[in-house]
């Protein structure tokens, strides 16, 4: 809980107890597969739209043949596991703060152990896992630098972390429309969509945690709706509540006035509406890969050891041109 006498949002932006309740509630909903479209899109292999750098595919494309022990941080119902094979991962430990999610986890051919634990406090010894994965979970932790450090700590040397999390432009259409409507009708606004990390900070945070050979990439998933009310209804009923993705910020506003909602709907359609009358909702995904140092890994050349200057690159084009002639 937040320190006494201090603003919760100043220390911990998210109410982790509420998040646990939301995820437990989401795991008990009927037909959960219909609710996990975004998680399935990010974690799995198949899915509509262009090919994306999904977490399971990244694991399978690594040069390493087999991971003897892997950890799924914030596993939920275990959608990463069902897209992996025992030839890739010999044993898997799934960790989630919501016990209902683990109880209703999807079955997999990989021998699996499920542990109820907070993603912010991993209960494992140092140098335990060959692989750590996490999909659409870390954007809810209060101390992301600490979470990255803990993941780095439980990895073995030469172990790899592969993660995905919502990015800063997620639901920007909805956020902007609600803020403009509240400014117009109520003279101010409060957050209705949780804050997200900027991609410019992600590489720095991973590097500070001790990871090297970093790769950070972004992707977008766009879903079209008839209007703002359908966006809100679907987010509440399917993608957000059913996925346990409701806003759990301490400074969240409990409700919106109907007049404000009507104004936001008009702004949404005017600013972002498609030619067919629908409106888009954008989900930005950050994908990240980082390795724990091992002496066998390739090392950058010492500073000043280069034998060719970047200024000489212009000469190469001239040599190529003369060779063609």
pLDDT tens digits along 231-259: 877 666 444 433 334 444 444 555 667 88
State mean pLDDT over 304-312: 64
The answer to whether residues 126 and 156 touch, using CB atoms and an 8 Å cutoff, is no
Annotated domain spans of the chain: 16-168+194-224+281-320
What does the H/E/C string look like for 151-201? HHHHEEEEEEEEEEEECCCCCHHHHHHHHHHHHHHHCCCCCCCCCCCCHHH
Helix (H, G, I), strand (E, B) or coil at 291: strand
Question: What residue has token string 């987010």?
Answer: 235
Q: 16-168+194-224+281-320 in CATH: which number? A: 3.40.50.150
Question: What residue has token string 């390493």?
Answer: 64
Q: Give CA separation, 17 vs 71, 98, 140, in Å.
A: 23, 10, 11
Residue 86 CA to residue 62 CA, distance in Å, equals: 15
Residue 296 CA to residue 290 CA, distance in Å, equals: 16
13 or 8, greater pLDDT: 13
Has residue 169 got a pLDDT over 90?
Answer: no
The residue among 126, 119, 286, 136 whose CA lies nearest residue 206 is 286
Q: What is the pLDDT of residue 78?
A: 83
Query: Chain-wide mean pLDDT for the chain?
Result: 77
Longest CA–CA separation in the chain, Å: 78
Q: What is the pLDDT of residue 43?
A: 54
State mean pLDDT over 178-185: 86
Has residue 2 got a pLDDT over 60?
Answer: no
**pLDDT tier at 310 (50, 70, 90 boundaries)?**
low
78 or 3, greater pLDDT: 78
């Amino acid at each position: 809980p937040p320190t006494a006498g201090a603003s919760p949002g100043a220390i911990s932006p998210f109410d982790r107890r509420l998040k646990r309740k939301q995820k437990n509630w989401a795991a008990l909903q009927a037909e959960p597969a219909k609710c996990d479209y975004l998680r399935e899109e990010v974690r799995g292999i198949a899915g509509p739209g262009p090919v994306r750098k999904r977490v399971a595919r990244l694991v399978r494309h690594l040069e390493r043949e087999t991971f003897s022990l892997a950890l799924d941080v914030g596993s939920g119902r275990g959608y990463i596991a069902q897209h992996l094979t025992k030839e890739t991962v010999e044993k898997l430990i799934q960790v989630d703060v919501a016990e209902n999610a683990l109880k209703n986890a999807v079955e997999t051919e990989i021998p699996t152990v499920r542990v109820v634990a907070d993603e912010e406090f991993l209960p494992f010894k140092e140098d335990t896992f060959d692989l750590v994965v996490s999909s659409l979970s870390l954007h809810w932790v209060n101390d992301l630098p600490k979470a990255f450090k803990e993941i780095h700590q439980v990895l073995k040397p030469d172990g790899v972390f592969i993660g995905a999390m919502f990015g800063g432009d997620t639901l920007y259409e909805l956020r902007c429309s609600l803020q403009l409507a509240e400014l117009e009708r109520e003279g101010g606004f409060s957050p209705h969509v949780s804050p997200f990390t900027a991609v410019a900070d992600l590489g720095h945070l991973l590097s500070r945690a001790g990871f090297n050979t970093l790769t950070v990439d972004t992707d977008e998933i766009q879903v079209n709706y008839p209007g703002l009310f359908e966006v809100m209804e679907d987010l509440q009923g399917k993608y957000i509540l059913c996925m346990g993705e409701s806003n759990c910020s301490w400074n969240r506003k409990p409700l919106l006035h109907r007049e404000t909602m009507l104004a936001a709907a008009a702004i949404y359609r005017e600013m972002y509406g498609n030619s067919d009358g629908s409106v888009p909702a954008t989900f930005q995904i950050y994908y990240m890969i980082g390795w724990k140092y091992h002496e066998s890994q390739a090392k950058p050349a010492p500073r000043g050891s280069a034998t060719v200057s970047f200024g000489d690159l212009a000469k190469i084009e001239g040599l190529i041109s003369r060779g063609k002639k």
